[in-house]
Each structure stands twice: as structure tokens, then as C-alpha cells.
Amino acid sequence: MSKGLAGMMKQAQKMQTQMAKLQEEAAKKTVEASSGGGMITAVVNGKQQLLSLKIEEAVVDPSDIEMLQDLIVAAINEAMKQSQDMVASEMNKLTGGMKIPGLF
């Protein structure tokens, strides 16, 4: 194997190790988003897993379940977006802005 190819392989392995570490660290980080003026709060980690959902009692109106559903969806979607942005930002630091197919 040529020195250039061996160097590229070594660099690729290093990046793979760094990406695995980044993903592990991202799983430990959380973001929080709310809707309805803070009546619904969603917490999501860097693996885009919903960790918790808080619903204030005042927003629970049995005659308007649709509004409650919309607020829940909005809070979760915003938390997911923030989580994806957080991971993409960290990944961008690792790759130096290079777009790699299959990564955020």
C-alpha cells in the first residue's frame, strides 16, 4: 500500500473514531423547546429521542383536544429541530464544513 493511501486510511479511521465519540457525547446533551407560551415543554437529546414532555394543567381543555395536540406536536418538532441543529453544528466542527453524504 502506498504511503499516501495509508495516510488517507489512517485519517479516515481517526475521523470515524471522532464521529463515534461525537455521537456518544450528543446523546448526553439535551435541548428544550416549548409551545403555547411555555405550557408544553419537550426535552430531546442529541440522538433525537424525546426524553420528557411537560404539559401544564391549564392547557388541558377536554373541549379542545385539537389545540393540545397541536401544541404538543409543535413543541416536539421544535425540540427535534434544535437537537438536529446542535448535532449538525458539532459535526460541522469535526468535518470542517465538508459535506459528507449520509451525515447530518
Q: Is the pLDDT of residue 103 over 60?
A: no
Question: Which one, of 75, 16, 95, lies nearest residue 87 by Cα?
Answer: 95
pTM greater than 0.85 (yes/no): no
Across all residues in the chain, what is the average pLDDT?
88
User: Higher-confidence residue: 32 or 98?
Assistant: 32
Residues 46 and 27 sit within 8 Å (Cβ to Cβ) = yes
Q: What's the pLDDT at 81?
A: 96
Q: What's the pLDDT at 94?
A: 76
Q: What's the pLDDT at 45?
A: 95
Distance CA 27, CA 49 (A): 9
pLDDT in tens, 41-88: 999 999 999 999 999 999 999 999 999 999 999 999 999 999 999 988
User: Higher-confidence residue: 80 or 1?
Assistant: 80
Q: What's the pLDDT at 36?
A: 95
Please report, for the chain, the start and end positions of each structural domain, with discontinuous segments joined by +: 26-95
Distance CA 23, CA 28 (A): 9
Residues 70 and 90 sit within 8 Å (Cβ to Cβ) = no
DSSP conformational letter for 43: E
Architecture of domain 26-95: 2-Layer Sandwich (3.30)
